[in-house]
């Protein structure tokens, strides 16, 4: 069994009886899918939990900070009670050599995990499970995001569904027949528009869409502090090959650090990460941004030379009429 471990098995009925005897009330139903077994549902200490990171192929674009913020507010206010919601699913992946405690990898519920982390929660209510194989796990991971209405939900996208199926095809070596693709789509609870999805999946199979490590802004800031303690840095997320605004913001922020310190030789770092891209996009964007930084500095120097030149005249800002008075409207 995939992720099958030496965890002592407790059936759900036994687990529920134990909790009821302790005066607890079971409110939310446990997670369930074919080929998945729930071993226990309980609070797990934070030190035993590991996030999803690049293992979350069900999320092409990574976590949504607004969703994380929503969970954080509800956790801090006491409005979030773990037992009242289908718990995030974890699987055992090892044992801590120092403490001897089990280590669990998150399978779904990434936004709640990040929210608990960011508020400094000491533990999180989770379902400890195992799966027959990785295909079963991937199907569950995707279907867990097929929300109709849920707690600060983050709906999966077409790209999420197709990315999961691509991963399963690569894992199992399935042929790209219409029948096989339709079966895989039905396993994802996709019951219509099969032709549309098949076309997207086939297109994905013809290019590199490997999932990469997803980094949140907060994660990037923490890593920057670890890499450059007591040094000057700015953090920037890049999305595409060419984006003047995000480049201008990060490049100028780094130069501003030198201006503020009145020290042109001051080391300044742009701690960057790539969002909403697969492996191919990440590898293309990195060198392009580095090249664009040099181009931006050259152009900035050219503009400075023009501004400082004798006879320079300041550009005139000429605003077009827009208000009722300017347009002569009574």
Q: Per-10-residue mean pLDDT for the chain, 330 residues long?
A: 41 45 58 90 91 58 79 87 88 88 91 90 93 90 63 67 86 86 89 88 73 77 91 88 78 93 93 84 89 92 95 94 83
Residues 22 and 148 reside in one and the same domain: yes
- Beta carbons of 268 and 233 less than 8 angstroms apart: yes
Distance CA 183, CA 22 (A): 44
Asked if the structure places residue 211 within a domain, the reply is: no
142 and 30, same structural domain? Answer: yes
| pLDDT for res 248 | 85
Q: What is the DSSP letter of 47?
A: G
Cα 41 from Cα 90, distance rounded (Å)? 10
Q: Are residues 138 and 222 in the same domain?
A: no
Please tell me what DSSP assigns to residue 88.
P
Residue 196 lies in a domain: no
Among 155, 172, 203, the domain-final residue is 155
Q: Are residues 119 and 225 in the same domain?
A: no
**Helices and strands: H and E segment counts in the chain:** 10, 7
Instruction: Say how far apart CA 255 and CA 293 lie, in whole Å.
Output: 11
| pLDDT recorded at residue 12 | 41
Per-residue tokens: 205: 């199979």
Strand-pair partners of 236: 272
- DSSP helix/strand/coil, 176: coil
Q: Which two tokens stand for residue 171?
A: 């894992």
DSSP strand pairing (102-106 vs 123-131): unpaired
Q: Assess whether 31 and 145 both reside in one domain.
A: yes
Enter the pTM of the model. 0.52
CB atoms near residue 209 (< 10 Å)? 20
Domain-located, residue 165: no
Residue whose C-alpha is closest to residue 86's, from 144, 35, 140? 144
Is residue 132 located within the same domain as residue 244? no
**Residues pairing with 44 in the sheet:** 124
Give the pLDDT confidence score for residue 69 in this predicted structure. 86
Extract the tokens encoding 214. Answer: 């997803």
Q: Could you report how far apart the first and last alpha carbons of the chain are, in Å?
A: 77
Domain that holds residue 85: 12-155
Domain contains 317: no
Q: Are residues 138 and 224 in the same domain?
A: no
Longest dimension (CA), the chain: 87
Per the structure, how many domains does the chain have? 2
The residue assigned the tokens 């130069």 is: 255
- The pLDDT value recorded for residue 148 is 46
Please indicate, yes or no, whether residues 151 and 221 belong to a single structural domain of this protein.
no
**Boundary-marking domain end, from 108, 136, 155:** 155
Is residue 35 one of the residues assigned to a domain? yes
Backbone angles phi, psi at 114, to 5 degrees: -65, -35
Q: Are residues 150 and 227 in the same domain?
A: no
Domain membership flag for residue 172: no
Q: Report helix, strand or coil for 7.
A: coil
For residues 150 and 264, membership in a common domain is answered with no
Residue 171 lies in a domain: no
Tell me how far the alpha carbon of residue 196 is from its chain's centroid.
26
Residue 325 lies in a domain: no
Euclidean distance between CA atoms 199 and 178, whole angstroms? 10
CATH number of 29's domain: 3.90.1530.10
Residues 204, 44 contacting (CB under 8 angstroms): no
């Amino acid at each position: 069994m995939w992720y099958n471990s030496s965890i002592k098995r407790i059936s759900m009925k036994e687990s529920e009886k134990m909790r009821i005897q302790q005066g607890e009330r079971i409110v939310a139903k446990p997670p369930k899918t074919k080929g998945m077994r729930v071993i226990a549902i309980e609070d797990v200490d934070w030190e035993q939990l590991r996030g999803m990171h690049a293992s979350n192929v069900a999320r092409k674009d990574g976590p949504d900070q607004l969703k994380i913020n929503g969970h954080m507010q509800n956790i801090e206010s006491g409005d979030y009670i773990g037992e009242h919601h289908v718990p995030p699913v974890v699987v055992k992946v090892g044992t801590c050599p120092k403490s001897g405690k089990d280590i669990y990898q998150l399978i779904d519920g990434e936004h709640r995990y990040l929210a608990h982390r960011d508020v400094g929660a000491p533990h999180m209510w989770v379902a400890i499970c195992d799966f027959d194989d990785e295909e079963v796990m991937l199907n569950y991971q995707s279907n867990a995001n097929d929300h109709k209405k849920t707690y600060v939900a983050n709906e999966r996208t077409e790209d999420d569904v197709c990315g999961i199926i691509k991963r399963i095809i690569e894992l199992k070596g399935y042929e790209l027949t219409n029948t096989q693709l339709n079966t895989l789509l039905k396993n994802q609870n996709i019951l219509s528009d099969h032709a549309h999805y098949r076309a997207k999946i086939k297109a994905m199979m013809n290019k590199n869409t490997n999932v990469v490590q997803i980094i949140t802004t907060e994660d990037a800031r923490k890593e920057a502090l670890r890499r450059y303690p007591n040094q000057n840095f700015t953090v920037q997320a890049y999305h595409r090959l060419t984006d003047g605004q995000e480049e201008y913001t990060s490049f100028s922020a780094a130069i501003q650090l030198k201006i503020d310190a009145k020290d042109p030789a001051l080391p300044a770092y742009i701690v960057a990460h790539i969002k909403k891209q697969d492996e191919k996009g990440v590898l293309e964007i990195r060198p392009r941004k580095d090249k664009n930084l040099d181009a931006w500095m050259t152009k900035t120097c050219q503009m400075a030379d023009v501004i400082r030149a004798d006879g320079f005249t300041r550009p005139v800002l000429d605003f077009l009429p827009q208000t009722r008075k300017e347009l002569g409207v009574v």
